[in-house]
Structure 1
Amino acid sequence: MEFSPLISDEKAPWPRNAWYVAATSAEIGDRPLGRQICGERMVFFRAGDGQVSALEDFCPHRGAPLSLGFVREGNLVCGYHGLEMGCNGRTAGMPGQRVGGFPPIRTFPVIERYGFIWVWPGDADEAYVDRLHHLPWAEDDGWAYGGGVYHIRCDYRLMIDNLMDLTHETYVHASSIGQREIDEAPVQTRVVGDEVVTSRFMPNVIAPPFWQLALRGAGLDDKGLVDRWQICRFSLPSHVMIEVGVALAGHGGYEADNALKASSIVVDFITPETETSHWYFWGMARQFSVDDAALTDTLCEQQGAVFREDMEMLELQQANLSRYPDRRLLKLNIDAGGVRSRMMIDRAIAEESLTLDAAAT
């Protein structure tokens, strides 16, 4: 079977009415942050009360990027001629000039939660808080989290494909999380509610190096056989949560008691920038040795190295797809998770288009 490579078309290849991770909370301090999200150039800054606001990154005076300016007394000051913009997108002043009549620039709904800044690039009237992706582990002291962010020069859907089919671990990540049993274990893909779920279970295997490290961190034997699992969950607009772990063999695997396993959730927020680039917010939330900050740092460093291997492969894959846009790509049963995820994305885009067409008439 064949399918077309991911190339641009007339419609933007992402849903707009959705909450996307725009930044980590730590990225927005005293200075404004410019970032392109779903094709929209935005600037994020903290007002005097510490709340994060998002405006289009365009000064109404001469069109300079507002992200090159600075924050003063809660307003965003353009770094070109000093025009001040408020959180509501309206001009707040300018030395020696009358600017009160300037039309406002666009603002974007923003939520700061779970250590991330979330932005809604679509219709602001649809930006309901209850549509935000809920992360129960982020509000639970029984979990620890560490992560980072990469800018990756490829279509965001290629990253989703990558995460929904972990067969590549055997080859791309051979020295860390890969092992031949991944190839040999059967894969099940199904749609459960609003998620695409791909799962793989590997009983009685030797833990690969990364999971040997995790077992030691959990105070468990890292030399014996383990039961390993991977459960990938895609949800709109472009989030993949992967339940991963190993348990001492013969104690229930995924269902084993926490004292007998090292389990975690690989957190993947994939935010489109352009049709051939995206922001990748990655991390790991774990339920073992949660007070061990050194272990958090070590696992984060190891995980970051794994994802850099993904980045190299995906960017070269994108370069090939861009170089040969008419080539047809083959698909196998292992691609089902990515295919179903992209089908869900396509439906969301189509539904938005129908809504816009209905509103226009």
Structure 2
Amino acid sequence: MDHESVKVVIARRELQTPEIVVLELAPADGAKLPPFEAGAHIDVQVSDDIVRQYSLSNAFEDGGVYRLGILNDPNSRGGSRTIHAQFAEGDEISISLPRNHFPLDMSAAHTILFGGGIGITPMIAMAYALKKAGKSFELHYCCRSSANAAFVDELASQFGDRLSLHFDDGADEQKLAPAAMLQSPREGLHVYVCGPTGFMDWIIDTAKQAGLPSAQIHFEYFSAEVDTSGAAFEVFAAASGVTVQVPEGVSIANALKAAGVKVDVSCEEGVCGTCICDVLEGTPDHRDHFLNDEEKECGDQMAVCCSRAKSARLVLDI
């Protein structure tokens, strides 16, 4: 783990559904954990060679804990599967300090939070922050069924009529209809969404079609399909003095690592931002879900775990 790490103890472990485990992390040395803002996440050192990012889902109080909700993903590459099978109460683990790439804009006139499946976790922290600040908001939690939903009792007791539950197997009137909700967006509305890729794309596209400016649509992807198709190209790692050819089907990160260049990666799906690198020359073909539209348009940085090149050559500051 390349970010500053701290040792914590799993103070509490609860299996809220057959596939969702909730962990509460307390400092291992008795000191206080640093505070965090809603939308933040931490890196968890799952094993010697696996680091994964998880959103913090609680309202942090001074001297409190960090709470994670972790889905046992059927497509797990070893992270969530290992946590579900091996992480137990009392275990000491390493985590990073909180980082926030999904900050909450507290100046919004009204905020709509959409959480799909395990994507509810950052929304819980946001709902607590908005409630504490006396802000206008609503929280929508979407799941395949009530059996798949975690945190429901807590959300109902804390947020009352600001909470709406939407289950795929529920009554038609219970199902989420974002087009109707966003048909005439009120001035100062901000939308936040997190969850499966298809769910997020649906909400984001609906908000854009309703005329909501991109600056008022906020999102954080947990995972994404990686497309490494396309013609081969050359990458010159300027700081390392190494040139590599990146063939179709191989990521820039893997091509550089094979040539001995150190590349920090984590999710390898273009969602966490760990591998973001400055572009000195050339035109990136952005395929990540981390950089926003304006950052991609600038073309001066890219995610080397998944993005490729539109030009024949890229020069990267690595």
Q: Smaller-chain TM-score range?
A: under 0.3
Q: Comparing both chains, which one has the higher relative contact order based on Cα–Cα distances under 8 Å and sequence gaps of 6 or more?
A: 1
1 or 2, which has the higher helix percentage?
A: 1
TM-score relative to the length of structure 2: 0.26
TM-score relative to the length of structure 1: 0.24
Larger radius of gyration: 1
